[in-house]
Chains A and B, each alone.
Chain A
């Protein structure tokens, strides 16, 4: 193939095949490395020259890494793979890596992914697979202080799914569609579309210039869902997760976070069309199902690390929680205020209010209430239909009266 470069004739073939193996390992670890990228990586290495290790590293990095989060995976894979080119034939480096000093949990998870990917590569080659080391490493990725439970969702029947979809389709969030600066042709439009007018006019050589009109298009703002899955909410978590999955696949620009004692971004997992697979992935990824609640801390983390990335372009935030915070309420008050100030609209859905005589007595509830634009209490929340109905309800007295009661 002419596109393939000619690296040093003596060893070039080997290097190319090594880069290929490396790319395959990265792909298994979750980086989107296609054949095009592979060719490009080989070219980049050829241009930079394989003399310096760091140049080699950065050349591959420039081509194969597409986002900041992938840097860590690349880094680990690079170190594991190029430390010993015969990695795929022997497990020695893996043994060492398993006994290295304790790293932060997240890094461990990354490493686990990379190791698994490299091991999968090894399996492909039908080589021996050293299992104990992998287990050793995995054991380190759990933190002893918190009891993590993995969630199993009952699967939904086809009929339930269909009903859920209908309910979501009926749902009308109290969202004002935002005007964009894009236009579509519309005979009743406010503006004259000069380009279309001229084209129409030229048909009669400019004798008649029929005005063509256009109007602004609108679209819903981005939606950010922050959903509490702690113990006090565990009754509902299946329902909510089905809900967020349905919303995520129904609209564009939805980001979803689950929180209990820690915040997890599950948007990526929810992208999977099949609800059961999506839920399985979430069940595995989120580690604090039905644990305690630290709303303030989780919101703080959201504000620090995510708000700039997902709250752009006038996002609407849907906060689903009962507002029962076990932690310091001071933090919660500060962070909810900040969240409110950085989004277009904050809607709070509270499922705990099962009776009319609700009073905002819990300190957490009191802290949140002054900062929400729209308060949606839900009594008897049993189905998605109830949930969507609560969200679709016009922004009416419910919010106002409750807020005044709280005051």
Chain B
């Protein structure tokens, strides 16, 4: 595992860096990561579930040797859970103690009670603190799950890398963190937030890249089985599904097949393990035995679009 790494010097270096972290990126994504590192701009990633949006933050933290600060968004996420909160119990005790001491100067008491000592830091505030190896990687995951007011709250952080706590003042990051924001597009992200980020859409990978990903993540898999898996999944994504399988599911399925000691695809095994790939009754029904058989036959005959 590399210790502290300097930021890459070129797009090619970025590609290699991501490759070192077992992430097979396209040149577009690498260019954007490179730009974001050089120009200190947040990255906004959109795409279907399971295409590796979150993974990029994990990989960046790993290969650059940075701390990863993760904020999972959910509906109703507010500043108290994401940024900071006051430790009210300790504050009350402090007030009582001050009274016991007879030290009841209003100004100084207020200053004392609302000081950093009583501040409970949450992920966003933590992300502004430098780590040993430099600024952390801040992952704001699934920002579309949070509501619009929270998004507005993020604007100050994303444009100036600072957070204002009314009682204390403005906390500024000495070194801007590497920010990765992901969205599943369950609602439209506000333009103000998008404007502050570099935007990239991660689609499903091409067959070639998917094979590379499978090789990288599961080097133990037989080449033939791997190629067939990728060909099958590429073809399956072309069918009329409401939720197409992502890379995550490709890998899960591949390990399931390895676990079952299969060296090639056959319709029975595929049907039996299809639930790993398709997570809906409608989809499972649509990709019934006939469809699966057809695709497997195509894979065998080497007539899928994905076949090299």
Tell me whether A and B are bound partners.
yes
Residues of chain A whose beta carbon lies under 8 Å from any beta carbon of chain B: 32, 36-37, 40, 43-44, 47-49, 52, 54-55, 57-59, 61-63, 65-68, 71, 180-182, 194-195, 198, 201-203, 205-207, 222, 303-304, 308-310, 312-313, 334, 338
Cβ-defined contact, A206 with B185, below 8 A: no
Give the nearest-CB partner of B99 in chain A.
A206
Nearest-neighbor residue (CB-CB) of B97 within chain A: A206
Given the known A-B contacts A47-B35, A198-B88, are A181 and B78 also in contact in the complex, defined by CB atoms under 8 Å?
yes
With beta carbons under 8 angstroms apart, the residue of B34, B86, B187 that contacts A313 is B187
- Inter-chain CA distance A152–B200, complex, in Å, is 39
How many Å lie between the Cα of A312 and that of B201 in the bound state? 20
* B76–A180 touching, CB < 8 Å: yes
| B→A interface (CB under 8 Å) | 10-11, 27-28, 31-32, 34-36, 38-39, 46, 75-78, 86, 88, 91-92, 95-96, 98-99, 104-106, 109-110, 113, 144-145, 147, 149, 184-188, 191, 194-195, 198-201, 242, 282
Contact assessment for B46 and A309 in the assembled complex, using a CB-CB cutoff below 8 Å: no
CA distance A61 to B11 in the complex (A): 14
Query: Measured between C-beta atoms, what is the minimum distance from B249 to chain A in Å?
Result: 17
- In angstroms, Cα B78 to Cα A59, docked, is 34
The 5 closest A-B pairs by CB, nearest first: A181-B76, A206-B95, A58-B31, A312-B186, A205-B104
Q: Is the CB of B242 within 8 A of A304?
A: yes
Separation in Å of the A23 CB from the closest CB of chain B? 14
Contacts of A313 in B (CB 8 A): 75, 147, 186-187
Q: Which B residues are CB-close (under 8 A) to A40?
A: 39
In the complex with contacts A205-B109, A206-B109, A62-B35 CB distance below 8 A: yes
A195-B86 contact given A58-B28, A61-B28, A62-B199, CB 8 Å threshold: yes
Task: State whether A55 touches B99 (Cβ < 8 A).
Answer: no
Option from A44, A201, A206, A312 in Cβ contact (under 8 Å) with B39: A44
Known: A182-B147, A194-B86, A195-B86. 11 other contacts (CB 8 A): A57-B28, A61-B28, A67-B46, A182-B78, A182-B149, A194-B88, A206-B98, A207-B99, A309-B185, A312-B145, A313-B75
Residues of chain A within 8 A of B147, CB atoms compared: 180, 182, 313
B191-A198 in contact (CB<8A): no
Contact A48 B99 (CB under 8 A): no
Pick from B10, B28, B109, B200: contact of A202, CB below 8 A. B109
A62–B187 contact, CB under 8 A? no
CB–CB B32/A62 < 8 A: yes
With contact pairs A62-B35, A62-B200 given, residues A309 and B95 touching in the complex (Cβ less than 8 Å): no
In whole angstroms, what is the CA distance A202 to B201 when docked? 51
CB of B242 within 8 A of CB of A202, answer: no
Name the CB-closest residue of B to A252. Answer: B148
* 9 A-B interface contacts by CB (under 8 A): A49-B10, A55-B11, A58-B31, A63-B35, A67-B46, A194-B86, A202-B95, A206-B98, A309-B187
- CB-based nearest B residue for A70: B199
**Please, how many angstroms separate the alpha-carbon atoms of A195 and B36 in the complex?**
38
Given A47-B39, A206-B109, A309-B185, A55:B31 Cβ within 8 A: yes
Task: Indicate if the CB atoms of A68 and B46 lie closer than 8 Å.
Answer: yes
Task: Compute how far the CA of A310 lies from the CA of B10 in the bound complex, rounded to whole angstroms.
Answer: 39
Q: Which of A48, A65, A68, A202 contacts B35 (CB 8 A)?
A: A48
Query: Once the chains are docked, how many angstroms separate the CA of A44 from the CA of B11?
Result: 12
Residues of A within 8 A of B77 (CB): 181
B194 contacts A67, C-beta separation under 8 Å: yes
A137 to B39, CA, bound (A): 40
CB distance from A305 to the nearest CB of B (A): 10
CA of A138 to CA of B17 in the docked complex: distance in angstroms? 46
Give Cα A44–Cα B106 distance, bound, in whole angstroms.
52
In the complex, chain A residues whose CB is within 8 Å of the CB of B11: 48, 52, 55
Taking a contact as CB atoms under 8 Å apart, the answer to whether A66 and B78 are in contact is no
Q: Hey, which chain A residues are within 8 Å of B35, CB to CB?
A: 44, 47-48, 59, 62-63
Residue in chain A with minimal CB distance to B105: A205
Taking a contact as CB atoms under 8 Å apart, the answer to whether A206 and B31 are in contact is no
Residues of chain B lying within 8 A (CB to CB) of residue A203:
106
Closest to B144 in A: A312
Chain A residues with CB below 8 A from B36, complex form: 62
- List chain B residues, Cβ under 8 A from A222: 187
Q: Which chain B residue lies CB-closest to A309?
A: B185
CA distance A201 to B46 in the complex (A): 46
Partner of A62, one of B31, B105, B195: B31
CB pair A71 B27 closer than 8 Å: no
Are B86 and A198 interface neighbours, CB within 8 A? Answer: yes
In contact, B187 and A310 (Cβ under 8 angstroms): yes
Q: Flag if A58 contacts B27 (CB, 8 Å).
A: yes
Q: Compute how far the CA of A59 lies from the CA of B194 in the bound complex, rounded to whole angstroms.
A: 16
- Residue of A66, A182, A194, A310 touching B194 (CB-CB under 8 A): A66
- Evaluate contact between B91 and A309: CB separation under 8 angstroms: no
Contacts of A202 in B (CB 8 A): 95, 106, 109-110, 113
Closest to B197 in A: A66
- How far does the alpha carbon of A319 sit from the alpha carbon of B305 in the complex, in Å? 40
Nearest residue in B to A52 (C-beta to C-beta)?
Answer: B11
Most chain B CB within 10 A, of A32, A71, A205, is at A205
**In the complex, A43→B200 CA distance in Å?**
18
Q: Which residues of A contact B92 (CB under 8 A)?
A: 198
- Please give, as numbers and ranges, the residues of chain A lying within 8 Å of B32 by CB-CB distance: 58, 61-62
- B99 surroundings in chain A (CB, below 8 A): 205-207
- Assess the B95–A47 pair: CB atoms within 8 A: no
The answer to whether A201 and B95 touch across the interface, beta carbons within 8 angstroms, is yes
Contact across chains for B186 and A309 when beta carbons are under 8 A apart: yes
Chain B residues lying within 8 Å of A71, measured Cβ to Cβ, are 201
Q: Please, how many angstroms separate the alpha-carbon atoms of A36 and B76 in the complex?
A: 32
